[in-house]
Structure 1
Amino acid sequence: MDDPNLIKRDAAGDRLQHAPRHDPGLARVQAVPWLIVIVLFAAVAWLGWRAFFHEEEGDIVGSAMLAFEEQNSLTVFSSRFEVVAESVNTPSVGPLDIAALEARQAMIVPALVEYRLDLSQMERSDFAWDPETETLDVVLPGLRVSPPNIDEAAARYFTDGLYVSRDASVALSRNNSRQAAERAATFARNPQILAMARKAAAQAIRQNLAIPLQVAGYGDVTVNVHFEGQEPAAVPN
């Protein structure tokens, strides 16, 4: 038979055992230092990101200028053409010219001229951004035309005369070279050639801006390009 006192003692022992209690106030106190550390860490990370990686949103002009800074000078067009020059040399004896010994020389020589844009001098005022129409207007500086590169090694010569001395030949060639350079420079500034160079420049600038602006997250921006003193003209996509 079971001892009733043992049963009571067991019951009494059971009554003395209590479930462990959690103090919510203590838990909150212990969590506060860790919360402060997390907040401080997030603040430091945000400040570091803003200082070193963040760019002002919507600064499309800054993005465009950054793209130009990497280009500095851009060759937008080149023109290769042939120039014809002709010279006459008449030897003389004292005050008299000897027409019978007159010599002529014609030269057909290739010439190359390049048209460049100096992007390093562009300023923020050369860009205008319209957020409503998502249009970027760009004013370009004047084209720089390089001195003509006369390829005399590829020139073709035609000489006419009964007798052409060495001195006369040198004089004819020197005079033809000077003429070729002058005529090439004049041809390079022909209005039609300049119009072609400006059109090529506008297309090149749009292409050089389109990809960087898309990468920067501005999407399909309309770029209008014109030169100083010209009306803005939209460049076709």
Structure 2
Amino acid sequence: MEGLKRYWPLLLLAALLLGGIGWWVNRQAEKAQVEEELAQAQGIVRVLSATFANKAALKVGEVNGTLDVTSVDPGAIPALRSAQKATIPYSVGYTLDLSALGADDYRWDPASRTLVIRVPLVTAEPPNIDEAKRSVHGTSGIFVTRGASTNLARRASQLATAEAGRIAAEPKNLAKAQANAETVVADLAKAPLDAAGLGPVTVRVVTPASGVRDGERWDVSRSIEQVLAERRQAR
């Protein structure tokens, strides 16, 4: 027993040394994992930034139909007042600008292999009024001058444009276009990710308002590089 006590300092030193080596090995493994996650995230950002760089006006939806409008020309005097009923086809496209996406718009969770892409809201284009397919159902007035006819047609176009813009701005139509935009962006992202050899990746697309709904709660104010760099410093 006395002999064993003599070796306790050496045994304690050996235990501390082995523990330190184990801690160092684990530390290096953790750092290597974070470095790999960072490199993977940066690679994803580069691939998708190149893919979306020229997508300044990506078409993601359209609302269309026909509008019945009644235009009125007051005339120089009340007796020359005229009116016209017409049906005019219209269409309004929705676009999404992806050209300004940066590293802070991507969130990568390596554990679940989920990529979250934050995109802006869709915007409605100016309404397109198909004047060539305008159909007139009736014109009223004692005497409709050429100038009055021109005014009636112009007024009908203005009314149709305003109404088409109102329809395009309806929440249900905007929501439908936004949902379609999320599908389009996810499909666009999957092809280059597959080509880059990253393996199976789940892509989710959100807007700034919706944020990250599940999985790891990334801080949306920081980029991928910042989040992973802080992890690296903490380990």
TM-score by length of 1: 0.67
The AA in structure 2 aligned to 1:155 is R
Question: CA separation in 1, counterparts of 2:138 and 2:146?
Answer: 13
Map of 2:193 onto structure 1: 213
Question: CA separation in 1, counterparts of 2:50 and 2:106?
Answer: 12
3-state SS of 1:78 partner: strand
Identity %: 31
3-state SS of 1:81 partner: strand
Query: Which deviations, in whole Å up to 9, do the C-alpha atoms of 1:94-121 show, x marking residues without a partner?
Result: xxx23xx542212211112111111111
Question: CA separation in 1, counterparts of 2:148 and 2:118?
Answer: 52
Map of 2:109 onto structure 1: 130
The AA in structure 2 aligned to 1:111 is Y
Question: CA separation in 2, counterparts of 1:60 and 1:219?
Answer: 12
Query: Which deviations, in whole Å up to 9, do the C-alpha atoms of 1:32-54 show, x marking residues without a partner?
Result: xxxxxxxxxxxxxxxxxxxxxxx
Equivalent position to 1:225, from 178, 194, 205: 205
Map of 1:179 onto structure 2: 159
Say if 1:141 and 1:228, in contact at 8 Å, map to a contact too: yes
Q: 1:130 to 1:57 in 2, by over 3 A?
A: closer
Equivalent position to 1:63, from 29, 43, 47: 47
Map of 1:89 onto structure 2: 73
After superposition, where does 1:1-237 map in structure 2 within 5 Å?
Answer: 56-58=39-41, 59-93=43-77, 97-98=78-79, 102-161=81-140, 162-232=142-212
3-state SS of 1:125 partner: helix
Larger-Rg structure: 1
3-state SS of 1:210 partner: helix
Question: CA separation in 2, counterparts of 1:120 and 1:197?
Answer: 18
The AA in structure 2 aligned to 1:145 is A
3-state SS of 2:108 partner: strand
Question: CA separation in 1, counterparts of 2:210 and 2:169?
Answer: 17
The AA in structure 2 aligned to 1:87 is S
The AA in structure 1 aligned to 2:192 is P
Q: How big is the shift at 1:148?
A: 0.9
TM-score by length of 2: 0.67
Unaligned runs of 5+ in 2: 1-38, 215-235
3-state SS of 1:120 partner: coil
Deviates more, 1:149-158 or 1:80-89: 80-89
Query: Which deviations, in whole Å up to 9, do the C-alpha atoms of 1:162-198 show, x marking residues without a partner?
Result: 4322222122111111111111111111111111111
3-state SS of 2:107 partner: strand
Paired residues, number: 174
3-state SS of 2:144 partner: coil
Query: Which deviations, in whole Å up to 9, do the C-alpha atoms of 1:35-86 show, x marking residues without a partner?
Result: xxxxxxxxxxxxxxxxxxxxx5453232222222254431111222222221
Tell me: higher relative CO, structure 1 or 2? Use CA pairs within 8 A at least 6 residues apart. 2
Query: Which deviations, in whole Å up to 9, do the C-alpha atoms of 1:193-223 show, x marking residues without a partner?
Result: 1111111100000100112111212222111
